[in-house]
A and B are shown apart, each in its own frame.
Chain A
Amino acid sequence: MLDIKVAGPGCRNCIELESRVKQALEELQADATVMKITDYQDIAKAGILMTPGLIINGKVVLQGKLPTVGIVKGYIAEAANGKSEK
C-alpha cells in the first residue's frame, strides 16, 4: 500500500492537487493512504520549498507545480512498481 502525502497550507493549487491524487488513485484502482500536511513546520521538515508538494512513500516527487492527473498516475505507478520489485 502506498503512502501519499500532499503538502500545502490550503491554497488553491494544494486543494486541487489533493483531488487530482484521489482521481488518479480511483482511475488506477490503487490502494493508498492520502494525508495532507498543512502545518508549515511539517512542510519544511518534509523538504518542501514550494507548495504544493507531493510525497509518495516518503520521497518528494514533485513540488511547486500542479501536475495533471496523468502525471500523478505516472508517479503512483512508478512508486507501486518500484515497491514490488524489491
Chain B
Amino acid sequence: MKAQDVPGALSAGSGGETTQAAMPHRNSGLGRFLLMGIPVLALWIAVYWILEPASKWITFDLAGMAADSRLGMAVQFFIFESPKVLMLLLLVVFGVGILRSFFTAERTRRMLAGKRESVGNVLAAILGVPTPFCSCSAVPLFIGFVTAGVPLGVTLSFLVASPMVNEVALVLLFGLFGWKVAAIYAGTGLAIAIFAGFVIGKLKLEGWVEEWVYQTAAGSGMDGEEHLSWKERIQAGLQAVRDIVGRVWPYVLVGIAIGAGIHGYVPVNAMAQFMGKSAWWAVPAAVLVGVPMYSNAAGIIPVVQALMEKGAALGTVLAFMMAVIGLSLPEAVILRKVLKPKLIAVYFGVVALGIMVVGYLFNVLF
C-alpha cells in the first residue's frame, strides 16, 4: 500500500519553524476533523456492536450451517473475529499514530541521556512503547543512544520494550483475549525490558560492544524541534493506519483463519497435554520454539488464542508470544553489527530468562 500524494497530506515544510508563519490557520484542521470524526466514530461503534449477531445470522441463518457443527463454528469465528480485530486495529493504530507524533527518537534520547541506571531502565522501557521504532533502525538508534551518554543497559531496555510491547500486539490481545491479558502482557513485557537492561547494566559489559561504536562521533541530528499542528498530527495518525494496517491485514486474516480452524476442529483439551500447566517443560520449550520463529504479533496471536481455548496454559502461551514477538533471529543478525556475539548471547539469554519467569509465574497464579 503506497501512500502517494494524498490531497491534504502533511503540508510541505512541517519540519522547519520558518514555515509556521506561512500557515496562519494552524488549528483549522482540528475542528473539521472532529466534525467528521464524531459521526465516523459513532458508525464505528454501531458496526462493532452488531458484528457478533451479524456473524451468527450470516453463518447459521443465511448460510444455514448448524451452530454446533465444526464448520459452522469455524466459519462464524472467522466472520466475527476478522472484522472485529481489523476495526480495533484501525481505531487504535490511528490513535497511536497521533500519540507517536509527540514522541521522536531524539526527544527520547534527550530524556534518557545521563539518567541513572535504575530510573533510566524504567523510563527507557516506558518510552520504548510510544517511540516509533522499526528493526532496521535498531543499529543507528543504538549508536546514537550510547554515544550520547545513554547507559548500555538503559539502551537495551528500550530495545527490548519497543518491539515487544507494541500497539498491534495489544490490540490483538485485547480483541481476542480481553483487557486483562492485554494488561498483563504489557505489564510483564515492560518488567522484562526493565529487568534485562538492569542486569546487563550491572554486569558492565560495555567492553562487549564493538569498539568502533564508542569511537563514532554521532551527529546531533535535526536542528530544532518539530512543531506539528493538530492537523498534521491527525494526518500522521491516518498515515500510520495506511502504513501499519495496510501491511498487517493479510497476517491478521491468515492468523484468524488458522485460529478458526483450530477453534472448530481441534478437540477441547487437546493442548492440555503439551501446553498445559502440568507440563513443567512447556514454558522453556515454548521460548525455544518461539525465538527462531519470525512472525509478527498479527499472525501469531490469533493462533495462540485458539490454542489457549483448547487447554494451553496462560503462562505458556504468554511466554511463547513474547519469545516470538520480542526476540527474533533477524534482530540478532542486525545487532551483531554493534554487539559482540558474547553480548548478544547474554542479551537474548537474559530476556529469555525473564520470559520464562513470567511464563512460570502465570502458570502458577492462574
Which A residues are closer than 8 A to B by beta carbons?
A: 7-11, 13-14, 16, 40-41, 43-51, 59-71, 73-75, 77-78
Contact = CB atoms under 8 A, between A and B. Distances in A.
Interface stretch (B85-93, B121-129, B214-222): B214-222
B216 A44 contact: yes
B12 A66 contact: no
B13 A63 contact: no
Contacts of A10: 136
A59 B15 CA distance: 12
The A interface is mostly helix, strand or loop, or mixed, namely mixed
B212 A64 contact: no
A50 B132 contact: yes
Contacts of B18: 78
A8 B136 CA distance: 8
Contacts of A45: 216-219
B144 A49 contact: yes
B212 A41 contact: yes
- Most chain A CB atoms below 10 A, which of B218, B223, B239: B218
Contacts of A43: 139-140
A71 B14 CA distance: 8
13 contacts: A9-B139, A13-B136, A16-B2, A40-B337, A48-B221, A49-B145, A60-B221, A60-B222, A70-B12, A71-B10, A74-B11, A75-B13, A77-B12
Given A44-B143, A70-B5, A63 B221 contact: yes
A9 B237 CA distance: 26
A40 B273 CA distance: 47
Nearest to A61: B15
A33 B212 CA distance: 29
B6 interface: yes
Interface of B is mostly: loop
A77 B16 CA distance: 13
The 9 A-B residue pairs whose C-beta atoms are closest, nearest first, are A74-B12, A47-B219, A11-B136, A47-B221, A44-B143, A49-B105, A49-B144, A50-B137, A44-B218
Contact of B220 (A40, A47, A70): A47
A49 B136 contact: no
B52 interface: no
A47 B4 contact: no
Contacts of B106: 49
Contact of B136 (A51, A59, A61): A51
Nearest to B139: A40
Contacts of A50: 104-105, 132-134, 137, 140-141
Candidate in B2, B12, B143, B217 with the most chain A CB atoms within 10 angstroms:
B12
Nearest to A8: B136
Interface in B165-222: 212, 216-222
B260 interface: no
A21 B222 CA distance: 19
B10 to A, nearest CB: 5
Contacts of B139: 9, 40, 43-44
Contacts of A75: 12-13, 15
B9 A68 contact: yes
Contacts of A65: 132, 236, 239
B134 A11 contact: yes
Given A60-B221, A63-B222, A69-B4, A49 B141 contact: yes
A44 B338 CA distance: 12
A39 to B, nearest CB: 10
Contacts of B14: 71
B13 A49 contact: no
Contact of A68 (B4, B145, B212, B218): B4
